A and B are shown apart, each in its own frame.
Chain A
Amino acid sequence: MALPTVKSRVFCAAGAILMIALAAASLFVGKYPLTLEGLLSGDVMQLRVFWTLRASRTAVGVIGGFALGAAGFVYQTVFRNPLASPDVIGVSSGASAGAAAGILFLSGAAAVTASAFAGALAAVVLALALSSLDRAGRNGTIVLAGIAVHALAQTALMCLKLTADPERELASIEYWIMGSLNGISGYSIGVNLLLCLLCVSALFLLHRQILLLSAEEGEARMLGADVGRLRLAVLLLATLAVSCVVSLSGLISFVGLLAPHGARLLTKRNRVGTMLLGGMLGSILLTGADILARSVSSTELPVSIFTSLLGAPFLIFLIIRGRQRA
């Protein structure tokens, strides 16, 4: 019995090391030629680039990836559905519609971020409010409400795209939706990252309750949990964390789905260590993908291309490995 715990500790340690290594690498890969000597000797320009651009981007990669991975774990656990992700309750489409509205009617990157965040929140609040109309509090109701909100947000997005100028605004909307960390700077990330960290910490504090929710509902109730309210609170926290990230970066595919699966396949368990490992895998995936997105070509590429390209083979490898073991 002791074996899995040791194993998951080993994996967590390895994950942490890899995460730190990638974060360090991320600090020193980019278009601006930063040198260690320059930074140490206090070159103003280099220091400014380092802190406002490079370090901020790295922070969003690491923390954002972690939040996406951990939130994905929460969703899959709470819904007892391996395909559940923040998209299920319309977060990403809400954020996209919000961002599109921001691009069309407001100006400035900060306004677009705020607008995307508002869109994501609106979608979540709407989905949760709709689902609370169902007094029986069935698990499936949230998913259904989420799908309805998702469809609504997509329609709103389509209408916004239709009114957009194809040369300017439509291009901006499409680029936003593709997701990238290239517009991130130290001046715009503070609030989002802080809120995101708070939500993720709260999720880890609630980890016992989250695992309770994965049990059968009757069972959880017997163990003394107010299932309905708890589920709402946990989902709200997870979604808030994701909204913070997505409103900064645009949509990032696959991290929220893959990271928790990877963690589960590695540890063969579903407990707090797995959630931690899921977060770290998310971090590793997003930071690694972002390093590639900014260095492979002379222009910036969408980060989702690389999260999928790195993630999919990894997932397939884990599945095949699992087969062979069994």
Chain B
Amino acid sequence: MKKILSLLLVLAMTLSLAACGPNESAADTQTAVSEESGQEDAQEETAEDAGGTEDAASEESAEEDASQTAYPVTVTDQAGREVVIEEEPQKLVSGYYISTSLLIALGLEDRLVGIEAKADTRPVYQLSAPELLELPSVGTAKEFDLEGCAALEPDLVILPLKLQDSADALEELGITALVVNPEDQELLNETIKLVGTASNTQEKAQSLLNFASEQEARLGEALADAETPSVYLAGNSALLSTAGDSMYQSDMIRMAGGVNAAAEITDAYWAEISYEQLLAWDPDYIVLASDADYTVDDVLADQNLADCTAVVNGDVYQIPGDAEAWDSPVPSGILGAVWLSSVLHPEECPEADSMAVIDEYYETFYGFTYSEK
């Protein structure tokens, strides 16, 4: 999407080079294009769903009252597919780290029979459910192991949107597959509800959602009158890649009582910028993504940034990744905002309070104490 956008942008630019206001016209084209495509997507989805939305909706609303899933249940997954789940699934496969973490939070780790590759790079599994590391791998988002997955005879397979084709292939093999797409907070909330319904853990799912909304409300209250320093979020791949305003990570900064220094960027994915741009923004804080390849010391030692306010004051931090990357849309994502609020506003949000919240979260949902790990 971003590639197409920038190509369109570039074409529009070359065509309008002769005209005098290139920057304005570029901005116009960009918004026009994104709006259009957004509408198209929405229309397509409605068109696709039109068939069975009503039934699914009415069933779902009935379930919510009961907080127990009545099987067989029909759900619409996040690829717009209709999935019928005959009975409460006992054997689960998760092909995505976010859904795996969610299943642990919902207390379903014992039902997992297979998970995604590279599980050993996720400390939260080790801390909460080390037995998961022994499970067979069903491959990565690039290459899903269809046969290996089928051999595990799962009742329900949860896959990311990237693996939708594999989900369809599994359905043809007679294996129920659910596609999730937790790309931002709203979609993640949807994912949590969807998986909760599918696996009959709606109560737990709801308390997970409540935890996040309570914390968001608490932060909003505590920081209502606080100043809002500007925060530059440096991406995983490089210091000069950052998250624009429409990204999940931008919400984290806002909730923590800061302003995204890169708010003017509208890309929906990590955007490349220059040192000049970073110096022009001159953020009060530089925060590194938790999986960054480079370190806080690298940034502090970067001569190009010697005059940047954040570097001068030593306000360069990295989001902790000791359990999970809180800057990605994992169920624990709200903890990123909790942690950052103590960095930006130690007066209003003392670090001890934040640590207590983080401990409470992991004790409640994952069964370990974060601060004692």
Contacts and interface: CB of A to CB of B under 8 A. Distances in A.
Contact of B293 (A31, A44, A168): A168
B183 to A, nearest CB: 14
Interface string B225-269: 000000000001110110010000000000000000000111100
B273 interface: yes
Contacts of B273: 31, 182, 299-300
Given A175-B272, A294-B274, A300-B272, A185 B304 contact: yes
Interface in A258-297: 292, 294-297
A48 interface: yes
A301 interface: yes
A48 B307 contact: yes
Nearest to B22: A296
B84 interface: no
Contact of A44 (B272, B298, B307): B307
A172 interface: yes
A180 B241 CA distance: 13
A30 B276 contact: yes
A49 B10 contact: no
Given A168-B236, A168-B293, A175-B237, A187 B276 contact: no
Interface in A306-320: 306, 309
Interface in B297-322: 298, 303-304, 306-307
16 contacts: A30-B276, A31-B277, A48-B306, A52-B303, A107-B293, A166-B142, A171-B236, A172-B237, A175-B241, A185-B304, A296-B13, A296-B22, A299-B271, A299-B273, A300-B240, A305-B7
A108 B239 CA distance: 10
B294 interface: yes
A183 B266 CA distance: 21
A31 B240 CA distance: 13
Interface string A30-64: 11110000000000110011001110000000000
Contacts of A298: 264-266, 271
Interface in B98-149: 141-142
A295 B27 CA distance: 12
Q: 6 closest A-B pairs (Cβ-Cβ)?
A: A31-B277, A299-B271, A182-B274, A32-B276, A32-B280, A168-B236
B6 A53 contact: no
Given A53-B304, A167-B236, A297 B9 contact: yes
B237 A167 contact: yes
B13 A53 contact: no
A107 B14 CA distance: 37
A162 B22 CA distance: 40
A44 B267 CA distance: 33
Contacts of A183: 240, 274-275
A178 B267 CA distance: 18
A31 B307 contact: no
Interface in B11-28: 13-14, 22-23, 26
Given A175-B237, A299-B273, A33 B10 contact: no
B270 interface: yes
B293 A30 contact: no
Contact of B272 (A54, A180, A187): A180
B6 A297 contact: yes
B265 A32 contact: no
Nearest to B325: A167
A180 B274 CA distance: 10
Chain A interface main SS type: loop
Contacts of A180: 272
Given A52-B304, A166-B142, A168-B293, A31 B238 contact: no
Q: Bin the interface of chain A by size.
A: 35 or more
A297 B26 contact: yes
Interface in A162-189: 166-169, 171-172, 175, 180, 182-183, 185, 187
B54 to A, nearest CB: 39
A33 B265 CA distance: 17
Interface string A17-35: 0000000000000111100
A266 to B, nearest CB: 22
B252 to A, nearest CB: 17
B237 A32 contact: no
Given A171-B237, A296-B13, A49 B276 contact: yes
A169 B22 CA distance: 34
Given A52-B304, A168-B236, A187-B303, A299 B13 contact: no
B291 interface: yes
B279 interface: yes
Nearest to A292: B13
Contacts of B267: 299
Nearest to B293: A168
A77 B14 CA distance: 32
A187 B274 CA distance: 15
A163 to B, nearest CB: 12
A182 B142 CA distance: 30
B277 A108 contact: no
A300 B275 CA distance: 11
A117 to B, nearest CB: 19
Interface-central residue, B14, B264, B274, by most chain A CB under 10 Å: B274
Interface-central residue, B266, B276, B303, B306, by most chain A CB under 10 Å: B276
Contacts of A309: 10, 14
Nearest to A48: B307
A183 B26 CA distance: 24
B322 to A, nearest CB: 18
Interface string A103-125: 00001100000000000000000
B237 A53 contact: no
B285 to A, nearest CB: 19
B274 A296 contact: no
A294 B236 CA distance: 22
Given A296-B13, A297-B6, A30 B307 contact: no
B291 A168 contact: yes
Contacts of A294: 274, 276
Nearest to B27: A298
A171 B275 CA distance: 19
Contacts of B9: 296-297
Contacts of A292: 13
Contacts of B307: 44-45, 48
